[in-house]
Structure 1
Amino acid sequence: MSALLIGSLPAMAQYVGPHAASSTVQQLGGLIGKDRFVTLKGNITRHVGKDLYEFSDGTGSVYLDIDRKHWRWPADTSIDHTTPVEIRGKYISQAFGPDKVKVSDVRLVK
């Protein structure tokens, strides 16, 4: 009976292999379709307000919508406009207002 229960538990492993190729901010303008998943590497250049930040990777800038739960580094670590980060999330092209990335993960780049 215990073997049956163990076999029915969900796996708790995490995928650590290659991910989708990184995009640049400049490439975002050419994406067709809504809510495309993107990975960006660069810097968060300023806090615009509440959960909204500006991000730049040297090819352009885009707004990020980041909930606090998506920051992934030790609590005693601070970042500034020079700290390299990797952003993963959905690129949202808006008819009115600036385009943005709804961020699902923010990590420090080592």
Structure 2
Amino acid sequence: MNSYVGVYSVVCNKAASVLIMVSLPLIVLCPLAHADYIGPGANVVGSSTVSAILKKPVDDMRVVLRGNLVKKIKHETYLFSDGTGEIQADIDDKDFPAQPVNAKTKVELVGEVDLGRKYGVEIDVKTLRILSP
């Protein structure tokens, strides 16, 4: 019976040593691990204006705009105005709310500035919210 106790003791000591060797780097490096939130709103600059965007457009800059969709230009492309200027907004059909939207409907657009060669500066809308009908 003593031989079993000896073998068991050696096996346990080796397992404990391996566990410590594997765990130690993780324990030491865990405080160094850092992650940032990258979901919706991660890079929102805050409320912006069309005129500010057009003066100094930054590709992929997240923006929040409040105003009106003045007219539909083509499929999923609209002219948006916030009173300071007008800009094209690319809005997927699936992102429209269930309520109807017209030129008098006050909306909030959350999206990113898109600098394209073909259409210039536009907003790639991720979320459209009705503020007042």
1:68 alignment counterpart: 93
CA distance in 1, matches of 2:95, 2:127: 5
Compared with structure 1, are the counterparts of its residues 33 and 80 closer, same or farther at alpha carbon in structure 2 (3 Å cutoff)? closer
Aligned partner (choices 25, 36, 47) of residue 61 of structure 2: 36
> Is 2:50 the partner of 1:22?
no
**Sequence identity (%):** 30
Compared with structure 1, are the counterparts of its residues 28 and 68 closer, same or farther at alpha carbon in structure 2 (3 Å cutoff)? same
Paired AA for residue 106 in structure 2:
P
Number of equivalent positions: 90
Deviation at 1:35, TM superposition (A): 1.0
1:97-108 paired onto structure 2 within 5 Å: 97-108=119-130
TM-score by length of structure 2 reads 0.61
Q: Which runs of 5+ in 1 are unaligned?
A: 1-14
Q: Would you tell me which structure has more helix in proportion to its own residues? A: 2
Over the residues paired in the alignment, what is the CA RMSD in angstroms? 1.9
1:14-72 CA-to-partner distances (Å, cap 9, x unmatched) read x9xxx752100001024453211110000000000111000000000000111112123
Paired AA for residue 89 in structure 1:
G
Q: Which runs of 5+ in 2 are unaligned?
A: 1-39
TM-score by length of structure 1 reads 0.72
Compared with structure 1, are the counterparts of its residues 21 and 36 closer, same or farther at alpha carbon in structure 2 (3 Å cutoff)? same
Hey, which bits of structure 1, 4+ residues long, moved more than 4 A?
A: none
2:104 alignment counterpart: 82
CA distance in 1, matches of 2:118, 2:75: 20
**Which of structures 1 and 2 has the bigger CA Rg?**
2
1:50-96 CA-to-partner distances (Å, cap 9, x unmatched) read 11000000000000111112123xx3x21210110000101112344
CA contact (8 A) 1:63 1:98 kept: no
CA distance in 2, matches of 1:53, 1:25: 14
- Greater relative contact order: 1 or 2 (C-alpha under 8 angstroms, separation 6 or more)? 1
